[in-house]
Structure 1
């Protein structure tokens, strides 16, 4: 359970940092690239063996890590477009509701247990995520660019499912580092092309903020994978608890630290989240 708690704290840290990016006018793309470089470095730091590129490319999980690296960048851009065209609440709901994909995958592929209580808990969790993610005066989900939330929903779900399915039990650090390395390379190429086209200078503020994001970003995945591999806990339960608590805690942090307004729907969502966690964990 300690791994799950640490994963939730790390993921919540990502939310806090993105809020600080907005407050301190940090160049998000630059910080994201620094973040991926940092996350890759942290992964290599935890890897005990010698890093041999030819051995990495021959590993069973290499192509999965390669694909996930591309997905990380692609879904990040889809998330940004969704927030711009459909609103922040839509982006939040679409990304977090995608938890249903790894849950269903775990039940059907890994033959995880499913009963009435667990089904009710999962359904309540989805309602909790939806209600908690809604913002005041921004509670519309269906908009003209409906394909963006759909892409975000599918992409986020595929990422969570793939990370759990392809990550090697004995080599999580190198697997994670490879994913972040691919994302860093793609991000650097995009950043370089934009810099040449728009002639933007690199903002030094992006370095410390990017390093901080990279550290919590790495640990959010590392500890989640560790939690998923603890005996006695099913992935469907872990993903449900993880996403619901992250949304609820992030909402409360928004209230306490950033003075965001929380509606009655948000409070109802938090209460439903607590009930759903109890139902899922006690099955």
Structure 2
């Protein structure tokens, strides 16, 4: 439970940092790439064993970690495009509703069993994400732009599912830090290729604010993944419960942080979504136990 709480906390802090980027005019793409190298460094420092690059390439999860790094960069750019074309709330809903993919993967691939209350809780969780993210402004965009949230949904779901798969099939616990560091290093390297291509179109400028922004993002970003891997080891919770609680609690907690830190105003539907989120978390977390009393 503690590991899951830490994952939720650090993931929510990521949204706070993104919010501060707009306030201090930090260029997101450069800060994001810096953040990947910072997160990689944190992982290396957190790993207690000697590191040999040749040994890392022999790990069964190595090529998968490279693919995940590439996916991180691709999904980030799709999320940015979704936010710009359709709004932040649409990107948030697409990202968090992707929890259905790892949930279904756990049920069909790992034969995880869900109680009726847990299934009901997951359905409420999806509704909670939707209502919490609703905004008053109507969306006007080209028809092709509505394919973006679908791609974000699929990509985010694949990332979460892959993390669970590698954690379960290819990694002892002592390699969590090394795996996370390798994923972030891969994302950073692919990000450099992206910037290199972009610099052929416009001049690249090194900005101290972008570097500081990357450092502030990199630390919580690393621990959000690291503690999620630890939470997936919970002896009584299945992966469906972990991903549902994690994603819904992040939406709920980051929304509350927006109210406290940035004085954001919520609609009645947003508050209804937060209420649904709390109720869904209770059902998913304690559904098995509650069924024994019914």
Question: TM-score scaled by structure 1?
Answer: 0.96
Give distance in 1, aligned partners of 2:39 and 2:180: 8
Summarize the alignment of residues 7-156 of structure 1 with structure 2, pairs less than 5 Å apart. 7-138=7-138, 144-156=144-156
Structure 1 residue 140, shift from structure 2 partner: 8.7
- How many pairs does the alignment contain? 283
Partner of 1:206: 210
Checking the alignment, whether the CA contact within 8 Å between 1:65 and 1:179 is kept in structure 2 is yes
Give distance in 2, aligned partners of 1:236 and 1:38: 30
Of 221, 225, 248, which residue of structure 1 is paired with 2:225? 221
Give distance in 1, aligned partners of 2:140 and 2:27: 29
Comparing 135-144 and 253-262, the one that deviates more: 135-144
* Over 4 Å off, 4+ runs: 138-144
Give distance in 1, aligned partners of 2:232 and 2:176: 12
Partner of 1:169: 172
Give distance in 1, aligned partners of 2:124 and 2:140: 20
Summarize the alignment of residues 174-253 of structure 1 with structure 2, pairs less than 5 Å apart. 174-253=178-257
Relative distance call for 1:76 and 1:209 in structure 2 (3 A) is: same
Give distance in 1, aligned partners of 2:280 and 2:143: 29
Checking the alignment, whether the CA contact within 8 Å between 1:245 and 1:273 is kept in structure 2 is yes
Checking the alignment, whether the CA contact within 8 Å between 2:36 and 2:184 is kept in structure 1 is yes
2:8 counterpart SS class: helix
Relative distance call for 1:144 and 1:199 in structure 2 (3 A) is: closer
1:146 counterpart SS class: helix
For structure 1, the 5+ residue unaligned runs are none
Structure 1 residue 269, shift from structure 2 partner: 0.3
Q: CA RMSD in A?
A: 1.6
Question: TM-score scaled by structure 2?
Answer: 0.92
For structure 2, the 5+ residue unaligned runs are 288-294
